[in-house]
Amino acid sequence: MRRVRSIAGDSVNLLLYRELGRCDDAAEETLWRLNPGLAEHGPVLPAGIWVIVPEMEARPGAARPVSAWD
């Protein structure tokens, strides 16, 4: 895990996308668990907030579609 500083106007999704290249539910849930007090800052983070970013793959694996004929 690493720590990054927020830029003025960052949202959690924007920060995740900039740092990991993804902002899906799994990445967001992990980030919230690592940063329990982050929600106190509201939906738009002020500049200079330290945020712990989870170590995850850049892109989640593509899910194979499920078919009734499989």
Q: What integer pLDDT is reported at residue 70 of this predicted model?
A: 60
pTM of the model: 0.76
Closest alpha carbon to 34 in 56, 60, 59? 56
Query: What would the pLDDT profile of 47-69 be if each residue is shown by its tens digit?
Result: 999 999 998 876 655 667 777 87
27 within 8 A of 54, measured Cβ to Cβ: yes
Q: How far is CA 39 from CA 11, 34, 61, 64, 69, in A?
A: 11, 12, 28, 34, 44
Query: What would the pLDDT profile of 15-38 be if each residue is shown by its tens digit?
Result: 999 999 888 999 999 999 999 999
The beta strand positions in 1-70, using DSSP E, are 2-5, 50-53
Q: What integer pLDDT is reported at residue 36 of this predicted model?
A: 94
Q: What integer pLDDT is reported at residue 23 of this predicted model?
A: 87
